[in-house]
Amino acid sequence: MSTLTARAVAVLTDADPAGKAKRAHAMAADWAQGRIGSLGDTRPPTRPARPERPQLKRPGDMPKRKINRGTAGRFALLHALAHIELNAIDLACDILARFPEQGLPNAFHDDWLRVAEEEAKHFLLLEERLGELGGSYGDLPAHDGLWQAAEDTAGDLLARLAVVPLVLEARGLDVTPAMIAKLKAVDDHRSAGVLEIIYRDEVGHVAIGKRWFDHLCQRDGADPRRTWQDLVRRHFKGQLKPPFNEDARRQANLPPDFYTALADL
Ligand SMILES: [Fe+2]
Ligand SMILES: [Fe+2]
């Protein structure tokens, strides 16, 4: 019988995006049906395997994307989002594989497997839409800054939760509604529909991040708000960018008194 860490590492070390997504789905299904016997102790790689394309560039070298009736700008937007989702599959698997010694309840693994599975779904939905627009993932360069947060917090689960779901994924909640509105304004309802699915799921991912952040703080007798603010100051360069989507953040149980103190007002 396979172990959860071995299965998560098999996702991380698969360089093929479709293969990665397929493995994430199979891992979640096998866990749900009791076909994964234990956590095991297979160590995750420092960096996940990546395909030869897209070419990875520095964030500042990325082409600008304008959402209009032409295909190029929308393709570039969806391509950038597909790259984020591919990284998100790996981020969820890295959380599953990196911290087995924390002794967390099975609900923790259930939650992060759900995240891994949904990120795989998001990647495949975007890849399908890129195909409908006449290309595929890998056609454009992508930026290489996304794994940095994972490496910076590889030694500390609390810091990982503070930054990845509660800063980066929460930022996704702030910016996605405007993207959906722009896509609808140019009658790209198929792309808007994909982003609506992603948006709804991502509220859940921020909520999962917050649930386990609070759980660890409670276990250690730490104040969640002060601990979060300290960890974000230490591990996230720069300030948080308003305007915030307070409604969605509140649905994810992330109240304004957590993040407004760190905002670039
Ligand atoms: Fe996602
Ligand atoms: Fe997510």
Ligand 1: distance of its center to the CA of 208 in Å? 13
Nearest to 27 by CA among 89, 88, 102: 89
Q: What is the pTM of this model?
A: 0.97
For residue range 199-221, list pLDDT tens digits in order. Answer: 999 999 999 999 999 999 999 99
Ligand nearest to the CA of 203: 2
Nearest to 87 by CA among 3, 159, 170, 151: 151
| CA–centroid distance for 243 within its chain | 20
Ligand nearest to the CA of 86: 1
pLDDT category at 236 given cuts 50, 70, 90 is very high
pLDDT on residue 144: 78
> What would the two tokens of residue 25 be?
């789905």
Integer Cα distance of 50 and 208 in angstroms? 26
For residue range 97-118, list pLDDT tens digits in order. Answer: 999 889 999 999 999 999 999 9
Ligand 1: distance of its center to the CA of 198 in Å? 6
Ligand 1: distance of its center to the CA of 221 in Å? 31
Ligand 1: distance of its center to the CA of 119 in Å? 4
Ligand 2: distance of its center to the CA of 227 in Å? 22
Residue with tokens 């209009």: 68
pLDDT on residue 61: 72
Ligand 1: distance of its center to the CA of 135 in Å? 21
Cβ pair 174, 155 in contact under 8 A? no
Residue 213 gets the label, from left (phi > 0), alpha (psi -120 to 50) or beta, of alpha
pLDDT category at 1 given cuts 50, 70, 90 is confident
Ligand 2: distance of its center to the CA of 75 in Å? 21
What's the rounded mean pLDDT across residues 34-48?
Answer: 95
Residue with tokens 């990196």: 98
For residue range 183-192, list pLDDT tens digits in order. Answer: 999 999 999 9
DSSP string of 172-183, one letter each residue: HHHHHHHHHHHH
DSSP string of 47-109, one letter each residue: S----S-SPEE-GGGPPP---SSSHHHHHHHHHHHHHHHHHHHHHHHHHHHH-GGG---HHHH
What's the rounded mean pLDDT across residues 34-56?
Answer: 95
Which residues place a Cβ less than 5 A from the ion ligand 2?
88, 169, 202, 205
Ligand 1: distance of its center to the CA of 88 in Å? 6
Ligand nearest to the CA of 112: 2
Ligand 2: distance of its center to the CA of 51 in Å? 21
Please say if the pLDDT value at position 151 is more than 90: yes
Identify the bridge partners of residue 3 per DSSP, sorted by sequence position.
38
Length of the chain as a residue count: 265
Ligand 2: distance of its center to the CA of 249 in Å? 14
Ligand 2: distance of its center to the CA of 50 in Å? 19
Ligand 1: distance of its center to the CA of 89 in Å? 8
